A and B are shown apart, each in its own frame.
Chain A
Amino acid sequence: MRCVERPDDFETRRAHLRNLSDEDLHARFWRLVDEIVAPLIEEARSHTTPSIERSVLLRMGFSSLEARELVAQMQARGLLGRGAGHLVLALAMSQGMTVREAGRALLEGRDWEELPR
């Protein structure tokens, strides 16, 4: 699909802006920006991605290789929407393990059934 072509009709389109002060024009510019950004940031607030979840596990003291494997397995099991770090921490706390021990157990295929529902 090809997008639209249009001549430069700036002079007619600008009619509603022509009489704005610079200050009002700037305010209008930033109001429009906020309006465009609002739905984007809302999606970020309420969604996650494999990279975000791996970055959480990195911060919890896992290596990039461990984080990649844990997140891939959680994604395959449809668990990522609960938060990879939350699942590992909850397992550690329920089983009396350190966070790294909990992550290793999962990597070794153990304790997946112990993850919180």
Chain B
Amino acid sequence: MKLAPDQKLDLREVLKDLDQYRPQRRGWAWREPRTAHALGPFVYQDASADLEHSVPLPAAREFGDIDPQCDLVITTEIASGRFEDDLRRMRMAAWHGADHIMVIRTTGQSHFDGLIEGTPEGVGGIPVTRKQIRATRKALDAIEAEVGRPINFHSYVSGLAGPEMAVLFAEEGVNGAHQDPQYNVLYRDINMHRSFVDAAEAKRILADAGILQLDGAHNANATAKEAWKVTPELFVQHAINTGYSRAAGMPPELIALSTVPPTAPPAPKLRLDLPYALALRELFDGYRFRAQQNTRYMESDTEEATVTHVLDTLISRLTPTHIQSTITPDEGRNIPWHYNNVAGVNAARQTLMGVDGLMQMIELKTDGPLRAQARELKERAVLFLEEILANGGYYAAVEAGQFVDQGYFPERKGDGIMRDPQGGDGAGSVIPREPGYGAPVCSHFGNNRYAERPGKPCADYGGCTLCDATKIQYIDELDAEDNVEQRLVQPLAERAEGLLRPEVEKHGDGVVCVTLFVPASQSVARAAALEMARHMGLNEPQVINQRLMHPAEGSVFEIKGRLDIAIRTDALAVPEPPAVLPDAEIEAWVRGRDIHLVAATVGEDEHSVGLHEILDIKHGGIERYGFHCHDLGTSVPVERLLEVAEQTGARAILISTIVTHADVHKQHMRRLHALAQERGLRRRLVLIAGGTQITDKLARECGMDAGFGRGTTGRDVASFLVRRLRDAPA
């Protein structure tokens, strides 16, 4: 399957012949680092190989549309409930720099004792099944070919079916997985003996498949009221999973610690989070670090969340980090919307490119509060470990409520999570291996008669599925109603008919978000805002964020609602983008004709950048084709432009108008047209206006010959001028 940038992902093609599909690549992939990497006007120090296709950061338009890539893998978490919609979201995220796609599982899958098959719809995530994994891997294989960088696909090996999940992931080319038995024990109340025995088998399978393992320690941050006080315990949780993984045969380069800077402003974030980050890196030297952005203190304000995430990402650059995991800025208010996955990825890459090369210029102090606090955290963690042993070991310590207590260890609040070692889901299901126990397969952990002899354990029957993938048993669907084919009927029919609806999560969900400020006290303003949204035609409007501007002067609201209409694309008047002429054709016509142009930013307006972009030879502007440009500067009266045009015999006037207060931009355009007519110059002159709020339609309505808005290049303007002048009567 091959993707074309101007074509939508073909879901029918993804689902075709899935029973035969094999992953193109296995194991985790890091980015290819580049130092002293020259790109556009800059040289990057902490970069990686460029992409073949991407959407650059917005300001890149000023720097020749470069799209430098940082050296960290960037994660985005995806959880709509329908994998077929997630695939489109993955493609969008990959174009913005994500190369680690973490697929959240549906609520309750942890407690499912076995694998799920087919493509049933999930809640807050997808049921992770062989078909969904295979379809996703197939789409990602095509997406990674499109963007030109490996994309790591990731999900969860926790719950009651860990070893089976691990086999499934190894067989189907999944690249990363969460595996941490403590997560089962503390947060899912799955029996602890079952969790740890299963985990050793799962870890061995992951290790042999080259799958990167993430642990689950970060969940303690999200659970604790004062997240920075659980930091000593976080070292312990990381260490138990790390030590257990090593004992199960996992090499350090496949063990990644999932760590979150625990606080958010107005907490003094770096003063608390940096010593913790540093101490962690020192204690776990040689392992990988997956830094996740903070979720604990996020609510509905996406801008607040983004600022916290930028600071989190700064910490990732101040301390060694391998993966920057992003959190969508809307996670605190809804199941993330697809464009917010992109927003989260962009916050990370914008920050990381902005702090490129930082550690070549600064270093962390080796004395003072940073070191003192890092040391104290480590000592508190050692005391925590000593108490586990004093309590009688891990199981007894959990039983005694030693974990996820809100106290700053050794302080105890007495509110830790307590679990019965003989209780929980799956209790009593751990069985002693009898003498002569055997498992004739590869990647098996522990006592095994087939591992005691030379050769592969699966040699007696010609190899297991890990050696011979043709033996994998593929199940398509088990439920005739709840499956992707049924879900696609309406969306694909609508697409074929050319119907379009807005969406945030699932195909055609119709959800939109409007922002409005209402100048009244908060409770009145809230009711008014909802009423206004209803008048806009939004069904079931809900306030998803409100921020007080002033108790009496008003509040700003973000309201989501559903727009229950579909637009017919064939009935739309879509303006054809004007075709640009080849550079050589423009230049051949312009040079030798001695064509003069007059240009300026008009009115009381000091903006000059836009006009320079269009005119200057060094920005690729129209001067390079041989036009003689008379740039009169900024805040120039319209009359002055006409005077100079008359003196120089100019054929065109270009005005830039950025300020739009009280429609002053329209007034400038109309006045230029009227004055040119009055002076008998209008027939000779081509009048062009440009600016961020200008459209061609608006400019023509105001008497101009053409208008150019955001994103215009010198070539666009030159093409228009050449066409117009070439066709003009002599």
Contact B197–A33 (Cβ < 8 Å)? no
In angstroms, Cα B446 to Cα A46, docked, is 6
Q: A43 near B433 (CB under 8 angstroms)?
A: no
> When each residue 38-77 of chain A gets 1 if its CB lies under 8 Å from chain B and 0 otherwise, what string results?
1111011111111111111011111111111000000100
Q: Point out the residues of chain A lying under 8 angstroms from B438, CB to CB.
A: 82-83, 85-86, 89
Kindly state whether residue A92 has any CB partner on chain B within 8 Å: yes
Is residue B339 within 8 Å, beta carbon to beta carbon, of the partner chain?
no
Residues of A within 8 A of B450 (CB): 86
Give the total number of A-B pairs whose CB atoms are below 8 A apart: 246
- The majority secondary structure among interface residues of chain A is helix
Q: Nearest-CB distance from A69 to chain B (Å)?
A: 10
Most A CB atoms within 10 A — which of B283, B448, B461? B461
Q: Is the CB of B378 within 8 A of A36?
A: no
B447 — which chain A residues lie within 8 A by C-beta? 45-46
On whether the beta carbons of B379 and A14 are closer than 8 Å, the reply is: yes
Measured in the bound complex, the distance between the Cα atoms of B113 and A29 in whole Å is 36
Instruction: Output the least CB separation between A19 and chain B (Å).
Output: 11
Q: Tell me which residues across on chain B come within 8 A of A48, comparing CB atoms.
A: 197, 430-431, 433, 437, 446
Q: Is the CB of A30 within 8 A of B239?
A: yes
Judge whether B461 and A89 touch: CB under 8 Å.
Answer: yes
As a 0/1 sequence over residues 85 to 117 of chain A, the CB contacts with chain B under 8 angstroms (1 = contact) are: 110010011000011000000000000000000
CB of B649, distance to nearest CB on chain A (Å): 79
Quick check: B430 and A49 within 8 Å, CB to CB?
yes
Task: Decide if B199 is an interface residue (CB 8 Å cutoff).
Answer: yes
- The residues of A that contact B198 with a CB separation of less than 8 Å are 49, 51-52
The answer to whether the Cβ of B442 comes within 8 Å of any Cβ in the partner chain is: yes
The listed residue (A14, A28, A30, A44) touching B197 by CB distance below 8 A is: A44
Contacts of A85 in B (CB 8 A): 438-441
How many angstroms from the CA of A63 to the CA of B166 in the assembled complex?
Answer: 15
User: A10–B418 contact, CB under 8 A?
Assistant: no
Tell whether, in the assembled complex, residue A52 and residue B163 are in contact, meaning their CB atoms are under 8 Å apart.
yes
Indicate the size class of the contact surface on chain A: 35 or more
Complex-state Cα separation, A53 to B438, whole angstroms: 10
Cα A27 to Cα B175 in complex, Å, equals 32
A80 CA to B432 CA in the complex, in Å? 9
Q: Which of B21-29, B148-156, B388-396 contacts A (4 or more CB under 8 A)?
A: B388-396
Shortest C-beta distance, A94 to chain B (Å), equals 12
The answer to whether B385 touches A33, judged by C-beta atoms less than 8 angstroms apart, is yes
The reply to whether B247 and A64 form a contact with Cβ atoms under 8 Å apart is no
Assembly CA distance A31 to B465 (angstroms): 38
A80 to B431, CA, bound (A): 7
Task: Please name the residue on chain B nearest to A45 by beta carbon.
Answer: B446
A36: B residues at CB distance < 8 A: 240, 243, 385, 388-389, 393-394
Residue among A29, A41, A86 making CB contact with B248, cutoff 8 Å: A41
* A49: B residues at CB distance < 8 A: 163, 194, 197-198, 426, 429-431
Q: Are A64 and B475 in contact (CB under 8 A)?
A: yes
CA distance A25 to B248 in the complex (A): 25
Residues of B within 8 A of A47 (CB): 193, 197, 430-433, 446
Instruction: Find B410's partner among A6, A25, A55, A63 (CB 8 Å cutoff).
Output: A6
Specify which of A5, A45, A86, A92 is in contact with B412 (CB 8 Å cutoff): A5
The list of the 6 closest CB pairs from A to B, nearest first, reads A3-B401, A86-B438, A44-B200, A55-B163, A8-B411, A63-B473
- Would you give 18 A-B contacts (Cβ < 8 Å), ordered by A? A3-B415, A9-B411, A18-B379, A29-B239, A36-B394, A37-B244, A38-B247, A40-B196, A47-B430, A47-B432, A48-B431, A54-B114, A58-B465, A61-B464, A61-B472, A63-B473, A63-B475, A93-B460
User: Residues on B close to A: CB < 8 A?
Assistant: 113-115, 117, 130, 160-164, 166-168, 193-194, 196-201, 205, 235, 239-240, 242-244, 247-248, 282-283, 375-376, 378-383, 385-386, 388-389, 393-394, 400-402, 405, 407-408, 410-416, 418, 426, 429-434, 436-450, 458, 460-461, 464-466, 471-473, 475
Known: A28-B382, A54-B164, A59-B441. 18 other contacts (CB 8 A): A3-B416, A10-B383, A36-B389, A39-B393, A44-B200, A46-B446, A48-B431, A49-B194, A51-B113, A51-B114, A52-B163, A54-B114, A55-B163, A56-B444, A58-B473, A61-B464, A64-B130, A64-B164
